[in-house]
Amino acid sequence: MRSPPTVTEPRLRQLLHEAGFVLLYGPVTLAPVLLMILLLGLDGADPRERQAMLVGGLSSLITAFLVYRLFQRGRLESRLREALAAQATTDVLTGLGNRRRLYEEIDRELARAARGAQPVSVLLVDLDGFKQVNDRYGHARGDEVIVAFARAARRATRSGQDTTYRMGGDEFTLVLSGAAAEHAALVARRLRTAYREEAAGLGLDAPVACSIGIACQWPGRSPEPVDDWLRRADAAMYVAKRSRSGVELAPAPPDGDDRRPGEATGPADALP
């Protein structure tokens, strides 16, 4: 999964910035100084000319220092802006992207899938019994459950291809790049297993599980609005919760078929 940028910049990158500044402004600074030294070494030079060159050289050094300070300030402000932007789109508890980041990135994901003629699937996840955990053990233990699910999502998904977002409370969305319904159902089952394993060490009496709804989009078909796509997955998730099936595939949208020939819809267990 993608990691948000941090305020601390790697030392190597900082050194490269410093070297770039020296290469850019070094000649501008050194030229007047070298000329000043040259004139000071000439016999018979007018003292007033020497004084003027000395003042000019010092002025160049002061100007270079001020430019350097502005350069440093600009870099600091740029890093702060990046950090603030990351904080605005990152869930503090888990480090996952939040709802805002999902809507910022999902259009790009759909465009990338269309360019590569690849499907893209979305998983809507709700943690079963989470309210009871909060009521019985307190919100601190509830936070541990949320963090356990984030770890499970990292285990169950492909790094660099799949992205997990926390939508708020105990609701999560996973976007699986290049994944058809069969692969999405496999990821969903793997996620449920990983979540049970991660939560096993929390010492909760009640069993821990999650309900997952899946919806798939294929490129080359009538584009489905993002909100409609998410609503299909959300409706499938509620079917999975009511039926206790755990994982449910959303039916195709009314205006077209969301599947390739031979691809199933309905309970995920119907898939090979």
Residues annotated as catalytic are 170
Cα 47 to Cα 49: distance, rounded to the nearest angstrom: 5
The answer to whether 253 touches 219, Cβ cutoff 8 Å, is no
Helices (H), the chain: 11-41, 47-88, 99-115, 130-137, 139-156, 181-199, 226-243
Residue 184 token pair: 């999405």
* Dist. CA 215–CA 117, nearest whole Å: 17
Helix 139-156 crosses helix 130-137 at what angle (to 10 degrees)? Answer: 140
Task: Provide the edge-to-edge strand list for the sheet that holds 247-249.
Answer: 97-98, 162-168, 171-177, 120-128, 209-217, 247-249, 266-267
Pairwise CA distance, residues 52 & 63, whole Å: 16
CA atoms within 13 A on the CB side of 52: 5
Instruction: Determine the distance from the C-alpha atom of residue 201 to the mean position of all C-alpha atoms in its chain, rounded to a whole number.
Output: 28
Q: What is the spatial distance between Cα 56 and Cα 51, in angstroms, rounded to a whole number?
A: 9
Chain-centre distance for alpha carbon 25? 36
